[in-house]
Amino acid sequence: MKREPTDAGTDGPPGRENLQALIEARIRRLELTAANGLWGMVLFLLVSFSAFDGFALLPDLPESIRQKLGAPPPIDLISLALVIYAFSGIVLTLARMTTATGSYRGFMHAAFFTGFYTFYHLSGGLPDNFWAVFLSGISVMGLESYHLWTRHGAAIRKQQTMLADLRAGRPIVLEEDEDEAI
C-alpha cells in the first residue's frame, strides 16, 4: 500500500527532518542485517574447522550418555538426509530469490549442518564425510548469503534514491509495507 507523494519542501507531517531520519534509520538497519550473511558463514566455518579436527576442542561424551542416546544412525541414512537437505535448501533459496521474498535462513542452515557434522562424528564417519557436509554447507550458505546481500543491496539503493530525492526537494512516495518486505 502506498502513501500519497510527500512534498519535501513543506513542513507538513511527517516533516522533512522526520522523513530524512526515517530513511537514514532504514539504511542503517538494512546495512546491519545485510551483515547477517557474513556472520552466518563465519559461524558455519568455525564449526567446520572444529569438525575437521574431529571436535578435538570438545570433551568426549561419557559412555553413560552415549548409551542413553542409543546407537547412532547408519552413515548411509545420514548421507541420504544430507543430500535431501542440501538439495531442498538450494531449491527453496532459489525460489525465494526468484520471487524476492522470504527472510535470511543462514543461521538455521548453520545449525542443521552442525547437526550433520555431529551425527557423522557420533557414528564414526566424520573423516570420510567431512567434505560432503562442508561443500553442501558452503553451497547452501553461500546462496543464502548472496540472496540476502542482493536483496538488501537493492533495498539500500532504493532508500538512498529516496533520500536523494528528499534532499533535492523532489516529491517522494513512501511505502508502508517496506519493513515487512525486508
9: pLDDT strictly greater than 50: no
Q: State which residues form the domain around 23.
A: 16-181
10: pLDDT strictly greater than 90: no
Q: What is the pTM of this model?
A: 0.78
Domain contains 2: no
Residue in 55, 49, 53, 45 with CA at minimum distance from that of residue 118 = 55
Domain contains 108: yes
Dihedral, 130, 131, 135, 141 alpha carbons, nearest 10: 20
83: pLDDT strictly greater than 60: yes
Q: Which long-range contacts (CB under 8 A, 24 or more apart) does 94-101 make?
A: 94/143, 96/147, 97/143, 97/147, 97/150, 100/151
Domain contains 1: no
Please report the pLDDT score of residue 132 as a whole number.
97
Mean pLDDT of the chain: 86
Report residue 176's pLDDT band, with 50, 70 and 90 as the boundaries: low
Task: Domain count for the chain, please give it.
Answer: 1
More confident residue, 7 or 182: 7
Q: Are 156 and 33 in contact (CB under 8 A)?
A: no
